[in-house]
Amino acid sequence: MPLIDTEKTALADYVETRITHLALFTTVPSGNSPGTEATGGSPAYARKAATFSNGAAGVTSCSATFDVPAGTYVAVGFYDASTAGNYRGWADITDFAPAGQDTLTVTVPVTVTSS
């Protein structure tokens, strides 16, 4: 059952009610388990509220900018809270490995398809 663009967009927008915060991982998640979440730094690393773009035709994106200490960051995690909460999934990012304190902006596409 193919969905029309309006329905695909509504489903993409629904993601906003389930994923409210993004996290950075220093290890790749496995199965239903999250990776190792970043820590430390000054200003300190913390999960960030996800900012969603206006969706169209089942496509939207979410983004956040993080303060990160030196290290290697390999994935972004999806959560429903700024601390603890429920782990919802993850996406690969291009490895980011600053030598010192830095910022990292991550934008992740959200796409609903049907056939």
**Model confidence pLDDT, tens digit, residues 31-83:** 999 999 999 999 999 999 999 988 788 888 999 999 999 999 999 999 999 99
How many C-beta atoms lie closer than 10 Å to residue 5's C-beta?
13
| Strands of the 87-96 sheet, one edge to the other | 48-49, 21-25, 73-79, 87-96
Q: What is the pLDDT of residue 75?
A: 98
pLDDT on residue 37: 98
The alpha helices in the chain, defined as continuous H runs, are 5-18
Average pLDDT over residues 13-29: 94
State in Å, rounded, how far the first CA of the chain is from the last one.
6
Query: Which carries the bigger pLDDT value, residue 115 or residue 105?
Result: 105
Note the pTM of the prediction, 2 decimals: 0.91
- Cβ neighbours, 10 Å, residue 99: 7
Average pLDDT of the segment spanning 83-90? 96
- Which residues have C-beta within 8 Å of that of residue 28, sequence separation ≥ 6? 35, 74, 75, 92
pLDDT at 10: 87
Reading the block at residue 40, the tokens are 């430390």
Q: Give the residue from 69, 60, 71, 73 showing the smallest Cα distance to 23.
A: 73
What average pLDDT score do residues 81-103 get?
A: 96
- The pLDDT score that the predictor gives to residue 11 is 87
Share of the chain above pLDDT 70, in %: 98
